[in-house]
Structure 1
Amino acid sequence: MFRKLPGDEARNLVTTTPDTAVVFRPAVVTTPAIITLVIWLARLIRGLVRFIWRHPVVVFLLAGSVACLHLYGWRATLALLGVALLASLSWAFSDRASFLGYVGWPLLAFGRWFWIYRRTWQPVMTISGLGRHVRGRDYSPRLVRVDCDGWADRLTVRMLNGQSVKDWTDRIDGLAHGFGSLSCRVSVASAGHLVLTFPRRDPLAAPLPAVPVPLVPTVGPVEIGSQEDGTPLRLKVHGTHLLVAGATGAGKGSFIWGTIRGLLAAILAGLVQVYALDPKRMELSYGREIFGRRYAATPEKCADLLDEAVSLMQERADRFAGRQRSHTPTTADPFVLVVVDEVAFLTAYQSDKGLRHRITAALATLTTQGRAVGVGVLAALQDPRKEVMNIRNLFPDKIALRLDESEQVDMVLGDGARDRGALADHISPIPELGAGVGYVRLETSPDPVRVRAAYVSDEDIRDMVQIVTGAGEAL
């Protein structure tokens, strides 16, 4: 009447007492001890090889100390360690960069891995919901390696099968506080692998002085500040369009004047022309002598200046058609940069409907057709909502300074930017701490980069004006 079923198969089970609970025993396969031992030894060897590969400095120090202690005793070992310490100090003072690269940062990475991340990895993964408990077994993402530099720890992590990047970006706050950091940023390293960045300090906390005016004319990426990792912040202006969004006092002027300052040598050489639209009459008017007749403050003159730029663009397009597909700046065909300080005043808050449509159409034409013929647009605004700036998606490169709401971050930088760590709504409103600090998202990379533009003071702008007017008088 009953039939035996293998394993935990319970379907088609027949019983004469339906109310009685069915109890069955799963099939158990006994693994030979030799197989278990071989698997254990293979895992041990793999773990040792992985440890030696990831922490060679620590392994060398430990192995050398143990060998010296065994061969020569503790006195000789202490003496050798003292000599090694003095040699390391001499190396650090003579060539700090190479010492940190080969010794300092690997030792710090081992210490952080051993004391912080390895020790708390399982609890943080479980509590944050990134670990799983399935049928009595715990599954956690694997910590592959830890790398350190002067300002942050970078953890390479292998995700669980079936996890997505969004599973991690939704939990950046829990990860940051779980590992004792103020923030966490997530980026994709390869298929199934992520890089988690945990800053240890803020290298952009102090204002930066203005970058010196370049001596060699260039329209290539211009240096205007610093990135979080200490490398210079260089903005590409030729061959792209740039949108800068930030609340009042966030430091939009630093990006505008930093860009003009980086192009000043090219302006003097005739390789760059700047069309300045200053509807607030405050920011760009301070150095209007740099722009000459290509400066406009009233909405009517701004529209006329934009129409002039559109006419120049269309004339170049007619000449370049069938002859060349990209623009090389020359004195005959210089790179034209259209700078709009407060674009929302011209596109959204302009009371004259006809003038508003005229300006919006000109900006849309420039941002859709100007790149190939050497016409770029640098626009700044405070409110990034679509009803205020409906052509923001026509700007390939975007910068988000301090913003009032978290939703505005994705409006400026694109969907998912805040989840990847672009916390522009958390930037300090104190000028000394947050002015000029922002997140850059370039057309070539989806990951936002935290940067700070150097502060171009009024005195720096006056010096720039003097350089331009002095060069004009010399000519």
Structure 2
Amino acid sequence: MFKKMPGEEPHRIVSTTPDTAVVFRPAVVRTPAIVTLVIFGSRAVASLIRSVWRHPVAVLVAAVPCVLSVLYGWRVALLLVLPVLAGLVSWAMVDRSSFARWMGWRLLAWWRLVWVYRRHWQPVMVISGLGKHVHGRDYLPKLGKVSCTSWADLVTVRMLNGQAVKDWADRTDNLARGFGASSCRVSVLKGGRLRLTFPRCDPLAVPLPAVPIPETPTVGPIEVGKQEDGRPWLLKVHGTHVLVAGATGAGKGSIIWSTIRGLLPAVRAGLVAIWALDPKLMELSFGRALFGARYAADPADCADLLDDAVKVMQARAARFAGHQRSHTPTVDDPFVLVLVDEVAFLTAYQSDKELRRRISAALATLTTQGRAVGVGVMAALQDPRKEVMNIRNLFPDKIALRLDESEQVDMVLGDGARDRGALADQISPRPELGAGVGYVRLETSPDPIRVRATYVSDDDIRDMVGDFAGEVA
């Protein structure tokens, strides 16, 4: 009736029920001490090699004084180390950027690894649900390399087998709070490896002045601001279409006018033609003289201008067919950029159904067929809902400025963008802090990039009009 069970057999168990589950202590296999010492020793050596490989500067700074103290005593070590310290301080004072690049950020990365991430790794992983506790053993994602930039910590992580990127994207708030950061962003390096970005400060907190007008004509990419990592934000307009979404006062005008500013020399050279649709009569009308006859504010005129753009596109396509597959701007075939400020007024809020139909059809035609022949569309709107803008997916490149609701972020940038760190709904409504700040999702990358557009003031626009008015035919 009773079966012998593996391990230590329980005694004095009485049961009349067959197959009753009985809790017992399994057999214990004793590991020889030498095996345990070999395992721990190999782990220590591997950890040391890994530390030297990943943080050579920090290991050198910590090891050299200790070795000198052991070999020659602490007095000699102090005498030898002090001149080196004085040299490093002088280096930092004379050339701070190179010191930070070669020494400062490396030392900070080692310190953040030891004091912040390795110290709190296990509790944060377990509490956030990214680590698993099975049969008395913790299974944790592996903490990899930590590197520092001027504004953020970049942490490499190897996921557990069976985990998905979404498991981490859904817990960015937990990770940010656990490691004392304001936010966390998740990006994929390669299969099974992620990069977690923890900002330490906000390099985009200060408004940026307008970028100087280029000296040579260019059709892009146009410098319109700065990325979070300090590099210039170069916006591609030729060969793509751009959708800009943001609430009132979010800074859509900064992107539009920065783009116009960067294209003006090419406009003067005849390589670019800017067609402006301004149904609000507020934004683009301030520089109306820059657009010549290609400016429209009345909805009927806007529909006619879009129809003309479609005709230009179709005529080019007929000429290019069988001869070329991409567009190179020339004086005879300039790049045409169609700017539409507040496109929702034309596609959703317009009371005339026939005008709505014509405008929507023209925009759909331009965004599906225009970029190959040198006709691009940059459209700005406040409400990104599908019933307001049903062709938003036809724009390869998208920019989300400050938005009112968290759901709108994925509407603009695509599914999962907010989980990857595009917190456009949390941008400050204060103009000095949040105007022009947003997230860009390019056609070539699913990861959003945080940026800030330069502020083109009214005086800047007046100067642009004074210098370039009359240059447009």
User: Which residue is equivalent to 2:456?
Assistant: 456
Question: Structure 1 residue 216: deviation in Å?
Answer: 0.7
User: Which residue is equivalent to 1:109?
Assistant: 109
Separation in 2, partners of 1:131, 1:325: 51
Does 1:133 find its partner at 2:130?
Answer: no
Q: Deviations over 1:368-390 (max 9, x none)?
A: 00010000000000000000000
User: Which residue is equivalent to 2:438?
Assistant: 438
Contact 2:350 2:356 survives alignment (8 Å): yes
Separation in 2, partners of 1:347, 1:257: 23
User: Which residue is equivalent to 1:317?
Assistant: 317
Q: Do the aligned partners of residues 74 and 37 (structure 1) sit closer, same or farther apart at CA in structure 2, a change above 3 Å counting?
A: closer
User: Which residue is equivalent to 2:118?
Assistant: 118
Task: Give secondary structure in 1 for the equivalent of 2:469.
Answer: helix
Q: Do the aligned partners of residues 93 and 21 (structure 1) sit closer, same or farther apart at CA in structure 2, a change above 3 Å counting?
A: closer
User: Which residue is equivalent to 1:90?
Assistant: 90
Separation in 1, partners of 2:449, 2:21: 60
User: Which residue is equivalent to 2:361?
Assistant: 361
Separation in 2, partners of 1:300, 1:371: 25
Separation in 1, partners of 2:263, 2:71: 66
Q: Deviations over 1:131-163 (max 9, x none)?
A: 111011111111112110100011111111111
Q: Deviations over 1:278-317 (max 9, x none)?
A: 0001100111111100000100110111011000000000
Unaligned residue ranges in structure 1 (runs of 5+): none
Task: Give secondary structure in 1 for the equivalent of 2:154.
Answer: strand
Output the amino acid matched with 2:26: P
Separation in 2, partners of 1:407, 1:16: 60
Question: Structure 1 residue 203: deviation in Å?
Answer: 0.6
Separation in 2, partners of 1:198, 1:44: 29
Separation in 1, partners of 2:455, 2:81: 47
Question: Structure 1 residue 36: deviation in Å?
Answer: 2.5
Separation in 2, partners of 1:386, 1:36: 62
Task: Give secondary structure in 2 for the equivalent of 1:358.
Answer: helix
Same amino acid, percent of matched pairs: 72
Does 1:191 find its partner at 2:191?
Answer: yes
Separation in 2, partners of 1:336, 1:321: 19
Contact 2:290 2:470 survives alignment (8 Å): no
Separation in 2, partners of 1:457, 1:424: 24
Count of equivalent residues: 470
Output the amino acid matched with 2:459: E
Does 1:393 find its partner at 2:397?
Answer: no
User: Which residue is equivalent to 2:295?
Assistant: 295
Q: Do the aligned partners of residues 8 and 250 (structure 1) sit closer, same or farther apart at CA in structure 2, a change above 3 Å counting?
A: farther
Separation in 2, partners of 1:75, 1:38: 37
Contact 2:292 2:470 survives alignment (8 Å): no
Separation in 1, partners of 2:19, 2:329: 88
State which drifts further: 252-261 or 51-60: 51-60
Q: Do the aligned partners of residues 99 and 242 (structure 1) sit closer, same or farther apart at CA in structure 2, a change above 3 Å counting?
A: same
User: Which residue is equivalent to 2:148?
Assistant: 148
Task: Give secondary structure in 2 for the equivalent of 1:233.
Answer: strand
Question: Structure 1 residue 19: deviation in Å?
Answer: 8.9
Q: Do the aligned partners of residues 332 and 412 (structure 1) sit closer, same or farther apart at CA in structure 2, a change above 3 Å counting?
A: same
Task: Give secondary structure in 2 for the equivalent of 1:85.
Answer: helix
Separation in 1, partners of 2:349, 2:31: 77
Separation in 1, partners of 2:345, 2:396: 22
User: Which residue is equivalent to 1:263?
Assistant: 263
Separation in 2, partners of 1:261, 1:316: 26
State which drifts further: 325-334 or 41-50: 41-50
User: Which residue is equivalent to 2:240?
Assistant: 240
Q: CA RMSD in A?
A: 2.0
Superposition pairs for residues 52-91 of structure 1, below 5 Å? 52-91=52-91
Output the amino acid matched with 1:53: W
Does 1:343 find its partner at 2:343?
Answer: yes
Unaligned residue ranges in structure 2 (runs of 5+): none
Q: Deviations over 1:50-80 (max 9, x none)?
A: 1111221121122211222233332332232
User: Which residue is equivalent to 2:174?
Assistant: 174
Separation in 2, partners of 1:244, 1:304: 23
Separation in 2, partners of 1:271, 1:7: 84
Contact 2:186 2:421 survives alignment (8 Å): yes
Q: Deviations over 1:27-64 (max 9, x none)?
A: 44343333322222211111111111122112112221
What TM-score, normalized to structure 2? 0.95
User: Which residue is equivalent to 2:272?
Assistant: 272
State which drifts further: 238-247 or 98-107: 98-107
Output the amino acid matched with 1:165: V
Output the amino acid matched with 1:127: I
User: Which residue is equivalent to 1:203?
Assistant: 203
Q: Deviations over 1:382-404 (max 9, x none)?
A: 00000000000000000000000
Q: Do the aligned partners of residues 7 and 388 (structure 1) sit closer, same or farther apart at CA in structure 2, a change above 3 Å counting?
A: farther
Question: Structure 1 residue 21: deviation in Å?
Answer: 5.6
Separation in 2, partners of 1:290, 1:160: 57
Separation in 2, partners of 1:232, 1:69: 47
Separation in 1, partners of 2:347, 2:202: 37
Separation in 2, partners of 1:381, 1:17: 72
Superposition pairs for residues 43-58 of structure 1, below 5 Å? 43-58=43-58
Task: Give secondary structure in 2 for the equivalent of 1:41.
Answer: helix
